[in-house]
Structure 1
Amino acid sequence: MRLLIAASGTGGHVFPAIATAEQLRDYQIEWLGVPDRLETQLVGDYAQGSYPLHTISVAGFQQKLGLGSLKVLLRLIGSIRQVRRLLKQGKFDGVFTTGGYIAAPAILAARSLGLPVILHESNALPGKVTRWFAPWCSVVAIGFQAASDYLPRGKTICVGTPVRSQFRSALDDTALEDLSIPKDVPLIVVVGGSQGAVALNKLVRKAAPAWFDAGAWVVHLTGDSDPDAQRLQHSQYVVLPFYDNMAALFQRANLAISRSGAGTLTELAITHTPSILIPYPFAAEDHQAFNAAVFAEAGAAEVYRQADLTSEVLEAQVLMMLKSPDRLQQMAKQAASLAVVNSAEQLAQLIRRGLG
């Protein structure tokens, strides 16, 4: 069977697709992406070059109608033609996509050829493309049950969101040796998403000295766009733009402070990590707030709006949580209740059934 995977843009779209592809080793898989996006690196790095990568020129849909919308529409039409040609020449049996704007030409091209499409939506509030094109898909797999409220009835099935295989492995005692963190200290991990989060970083740098005084260590992943990333220096503070082994880092953490992208939340659930979530306020349609609400309602996280959060409040909240190990343990249990450990297997099975 030949499968075209359309997954582009961010790790939240690409990593679940890679994890699913790993469960379909008997399939011939090729990848559809966009030039200069994250998949051009990730598909090669994590998939070891296993999947031929095709790229098309397509852009997101504008909020308001205008000249920009016309350009996007013309580019969409051209990209549909490109994908149709690829699907026909490659004799593909179907398409799997994880949403985002690349899903539009992939879905339309596949359906115009009578090919099945399996769509996975990881967010609690589905994106525009998912909401618009879900009726065209054979099945829509969702990461959060809450997403079904926005999608056609009878079309969705909740399977969680697949994570990379490393997140399903036990913590290796030697995994974090390069960070030199003592084994008996509380560890706070701060992560702002694949692009970092300058506003979040500023709050953490102001609050962190009180956490150091309480004996905690902090691993702060700042992203690569923060000009003040190195401003705070302390023996209990490890600052890096990114870190490869996030699975081990989250497993070791007593508490995470994070944005609330669906991919990161899935990883926190799988690793049973209590968290303080600060949704990215400029995410499309505020979808990170919807994701965070799922964790807050389950008791797995505390959630703060960035506009309402001060460094003093963050400092006090973390100190209170570190002094309440029973509460952290309960939050970890609730995070675990949200995890779907075999999500990749379930999604792969849906693809197998969809493609016949």
Structure 2
Amino acid sequence: MKAKSIILTGGGTAGHVSLNEAIIPSLIDADYDVHYIGSHDGIEKELIGNAFPELPYHSISSGKLRRYFSIQNFTDPFKVLVGIGQAFSTIKKVKPSVIFSKGGFVSVPVVIAAKLANIPVVVHESDVTPGLANKIALPFASHIFTVFKETVKHLPSDKATCTGSIIRQQLFEGNREQGLACCDFTTDKKVLLIMGGSLGSVVVNDAVRENLTKLREKYQIIHLCGKGNIDSSLLNLEGYRQFEYVTDELPDLLYAADFIVSRAGSNSIFEFLALHKPMLLIPLSAAKSRGDQILNARLFKQQGFAHVLDEDTMTKESFYRAVETLAANADEMIDKMLDVEQPKTPSEMVSLITQYEK
């Protein structure tokens, strides 16, 4: 019989799930009965189901929190109300001692239901400024942890603490040789890893493929291009390996990489930092997001951990120049990364969360 139960929530993107994935093994080791509340068909259901098939997953209704006009803005509040009822029912059944929310729109009904059920909620914010879901969750939360020190100034001082990054232990267990073998690569050329986010990026994918001829002269390229974005005409191209999305292979591929081109999601860039990987960041533009990735990338650039390329003005030529500059400055970046405080372990994060349990 498990001593205590805990509910995790968060979804919509891989970034809203990765920390939950990281701490689940530590929670299980600490003898917690772990449950997950997510949406019916969000990426969190696939990620959690694949990583922890025995873990109870509870699907609820949830709306999308949009910053633009849509007719669905009038119907989604009713979905949220239904989700609150479903989450409340799950909470009463599971009887958790605490709920941990990583954010994303699916978390909103859960944190509201937790307040109604008088269960403490701990929230985690990865970006420089709080996302909309976490802003809504804040009044219902017992505490909110942040990755960036700069985030705390946007939050009530009596319920916000900066923990720094929390990195999955598996990422430190990668093997360069296995990563190279997975791609049929050699040790003769440097390896460039391209990551366009969990859904991929048309802008990044196009820039890579437009420059393949020149890039392959100097680098071997691992391209995580997103679901449905494999270019079948390039499948047999030497020195270029495409993946829609990777899970178990990721640590090996990260260890194989000498440089990384990526979006600027907080979880990913702190993983690159912890592994001392020089990075070129292409943040989502303000037109496509709330601008959180732009702030993340700006801070990493200021600290000397990354170069930044604006996707709105990026061209085939500027992308290639940016990769060349990244390679030229890689050693200097690594030296600065070596001075950074080590990230917290998942078990340390579990201790921080569970101190708020009922």
Q: How high is the TM-score relative to the length of structure 1?
A: 0.91
Match of 1:63 among 62, 67, 75: 67
C-alpha displacement of 1:92:
1.9
- Could you tell me how far apart the structure 2 residues matched to 1:255 and 1:65 are? 39
1:137 paired residue number: 141
- Could you tell me how far apart the structure 2 residues matched to 1:228 and 1:180 are? 18
C-alpha displacement of 1:225:
3.3
Q: Deviations over 1:62-81 (max 9, x none)?
A: 33578533322222122112
- Could you tell me how far apart the structure 1 residues matched to 2:161 and 2:313 are? 35
8 Å CA contact 2:309–2:322 kept in 1: the answer is: no
1:257 paired residue number: 261
1:293 paired residue number: 298
Equivalent position SS for 2:27: coil
Give the stretch that moved more between structures: 284-293 or 147-156: 147-156
Equivalent position SS for 1:154: helix
Q: Deviations over 1:137-157 (max 9, x none)?
A: 111011222222322223222
8 Å CA contact 2:174–2:254 kept in 1: the answer is: no
1:2 paired residue number: 5
Q: Does 1:347 align with 2:349?
A: yes
- Could you tell me how far apart the structure 2 residues matched to 1:216 and 1:86 are? 51
C-alpha displacement of 1:116:
0.6
State the Cα RMSD in Å.
Answer: 2.2
- Could you tell me how far apart the structure 1 residues matched to 2:70 and 2:226 are? 34
Assess, with a 3 A threshold, how the Cα gap between structure 1 residues 3 and 193 changes in structure 2: closer, same or farther. same
Equivalent position SS for 1:309: coil
Paired AA for residue 93 in structure 1? S
Paired AA for residue 306 in structure 1? E
2:86 paired residue number: 82
Match of 1:279 among 269, 277, 283: 283
Equivalent position SS for 2:73: helix
8 Å CA contact 2:278–2:305 kept in 1: the answer is: yes
Match of 2:331 among 329, 332, 336: 329
Gaps of 5+ in 2: none
C-alpha displacement of 1:320:
3.6
1:206 paired residue number: 210
- Could you tell me how far apart the structure 2 residues matched to 1:200 and 1:185 are? 22
8 Å CA contact 1:99–1:119 kept in 2: the answer is: yes
8 Å CA contact 1:159–1:346 kept in 2: the answer is: no
Paired AA for residue 98 in structure 1? K
Structure 2 counterparts to residues 154-193 of structure 1, below 5 A = 154-169=158-173, 171=175, 173-193=177-197
Q: Deviations over 1:242-278 (max 9, x none)?
A: 3332222222212111111122212211211101110
C-alpha displacement of 1:133:
2.2
Gaps of 5+ in 1: none
C-alpha displacement of 1:83:
1.3
1:11 paired residue number: 14
C-alpha displacement of 1:241:
2.1
- Could you tell me how far apart the structure 2 residues matched to 1:269 and 1:131 are? 27
Q: Does 1:219 align with 2:241?
A: no
Q: Does 1:304 align with 2:326?
A: no
Equivalent position SS for 1:224: coil
C-alpha displacement of 1:110:
0.9
- Could you tell me how far apart the structure 2 residues matched to 1:173 and 1:124 are? 35
Assess, with a 3 A threshold, how the Cα gap between structure 1 residues 296 and 92 changes in structure 2: closer, same or farther. same
Q: Deviations over 1:279-314 (max 9, x none)?
A: 122543121111111211111111011011111122
Question: Percent of aligned pairs with the same residue?
Answer: 24
Structure 2 counterparts to residues 42-121 of structure 1, below 5 A = 42-47=47-52, 49-63=53-67, 68-121=72-125
- Could you tell me how far apart the structure 1 residues matched to 2:78 and 2:300 are? 40
8 Å CA contact 2:168–2:345 kept in 1: the answer is: no
Q: How many residues align?
A: 351
Q: Deviations over 1:165-202 (max 9, x none)?
A: 32122535334312121124211111111111111111
Paired AA for residue 280 in structure 2? I
Assess, with a 3 A threshold, how the Cα gap between structure 1 residues 294 and 175 changes in structure 2: closer, same or farther. same
8 Å CA contact 2:260–2:279 kept in 1: the answer is: yes
Q: How high is the TM-score relative to the length of structure 2?
A: 0.90
Equivalent position SS for 2:238: coil
